[in-house]
Amino acid sequence: MTRPGSASASQVAVSLDLGPRSPVEVVATAVGHINTICQLGGQLQDRVTRNQALRAVLRRPGTWLEDELDGLLEYYWSPGRGYPSALLGGERLVSPSLEAAIAEYIRDNELDTGEVYVERLAYENPVELILAAGAVVVAVLRLVRDWPERRRVNRARADDYEDQVATRKRVRRIIVEGIASGQYPLRPDQIDDLLTADAADAFRALGNSHLNVRGIEESDS
């Protein structure tokens, strides 16, 4: 589990200028969007961590698996690829022993499971949250900060769904290019089911609002 102050978590300041004397519902909506993005980043982080743990367990099955699972390992291991074939085919590993070993590996190595903690929340214009979050969550927040379609557009209700679908596709491409890399190994299908309408809306709303994201140790510039 990600713990405040642990090696797997870092502090990041997230701020958004909503103007002075903003109505409470406006502030609540903005914080809700930030929460949605953090949830998305946390879920992606959890999948990255599980992928890493699965690889580690299958590399040393004698250390982590109590049961005799030679047949399972032969079935799931993809020779010459360096990672389980289940990661390629989208299959879910259902062995209780393997699931338990993954959980034990994550716990014993204190890997980041995507939890995000609020260290401080203040509204003085701008609203600012100090978060303790893992690397993938911070990376997703920065993708929002750098949203390339920074504009405000008033669209008719009939166009909302089309606009949402286009936004979701754009968000998916940005996350695949910016997150699913050698550093954060994720398959596209491990991203797709997390890109809900709420996530797409939050990405667009915060991107258009000039979200500011910086590490605590970084300067404000």
At 187-203, the pLDDT tens digits run 888 888 899 989 989 99
Token code pair at residue 87: 């990661």
Q: For residue 73, what pLDDT is reported?
A: 56
Strand partners, 215: 12
pLDDT for position 156: 45
pLDDT over 50 at 1, yes or no: no
First vs last Cα of the chain: how many Å apart?
Answer: 32
Torsion angle in degrees (nearest 10) through CA of 9, 118, 39, 1: 40
pLDDT band at 34 (very low <50, low <70, confident <90, very high): very high
Give the C-alpha distances (Å, rounded to integers) separating 29 from 3, 137, 147, 149, 216: 27, 20, 19, 20, 24
pLDDT digits (tens, 9 = 90+) for 150-201: 554 444 444 566 677 888 888 888 888 888 766 787 888 888 889 998 998 9
| Distance between CA atoms of residues 70 and 78, nearest Å | 14
Neighbouring residues of 28: CB distance < 8 A, sequence distance ≥ 6: none
The arrangement of strands across the sheet holding 10-16 comes to 117-123, 127-133, 10-16, 212-215
Give the Cα separation of 102 and 157 in Å (integer): 46
Q: What pLDDT shows up at residue 16?
A: 92
Which string of DSSP letters, residue by residue, matches 109-173? Answer: TT------EEEEEEESSSEEEEEEE-HHHHHHHHHHHT-S--------GGGHHHHHHHHHHHHHH
Which residues have a Cβ under 8 Å from the Cβ of 33 and sit 6 or more positions away? 201, 202, 205, 206
pLDDT score recorded for residue 124: 81
87 and 190 Cβ atoms separated by less than 8 Å: no
Residue indicated by tokens 């557009």? 153
> Among 57-66, 76-85, 146-155, which is the least confidently predicted range?
76-85
- Rounded to whole angstroms, the Cα distance separating 212 from 108 reads 35
Q: What span, in angstroms and rounded, lies between the C-alpha atoms of 218 and 106?
A: 30
Please give the C-alpha separations between residue 193 and each of 58, 103, 114, 196, 199, in angstroms, as whole numbers.
26, 22, 17, 7, 11
User: What pLDDT does residue 152 have?
Assistant: 46
Q: Report the percentage of the chain scoring pLDDT > 90.
A: 29
pTM above 0.85, yes or no: no
* Residue 141 reports pLDDT greater than 70: yes
